[in-house]
Amino acid sequence: MHKTFTDTYRMQGFTGGNWTYAINTNDTNGVPLDLAKEHLVPEQERRLACYYLGWESIELHQDASATPVFTEEMDKLQPWFGPGTGAFYVSFKKHT
């Protein structure tokens, strides 16, 4: 996978993002935690890309996902989507 150069980084509410390949599986269901430490996929065989995106809110992400530029980005990434591909919302809270 390569950078698509679609300008989604300027969307309202977007705070940043990056992607990487999973190092212990190519299965979108993951692996049991007790096996994850024992098994590393050789770098040249890694296929499961994880795309982490930061948004100020779920609502701003949903608004952005309805825009033409977001659709263009998804169209460019679509060839790399595989079975089990999906998106998940995770909220983090800072503990003080």
Q: What is the pLDDT of residue 49?
A: 83
Q: What is the pLDDT of residue 1?
A: 60
Contacts of 15 (CB under 8 A, 6+ apart): 54, 55, 56
Break the chain into its structural domains and give their ranges.
Answer: 14-80
pLDDT in tens, 26-42: 887 777 777 767 788 89
Q: pLDDT below 50 — which residues of the chain?
A: none
pTM for this structure?
A: 0.68
DSSP 8-state symbol, 60: H
Q: What is the pLDDT of residue 9?
A: 77
Q: What is the pLDDT of residue 83?
A: 76
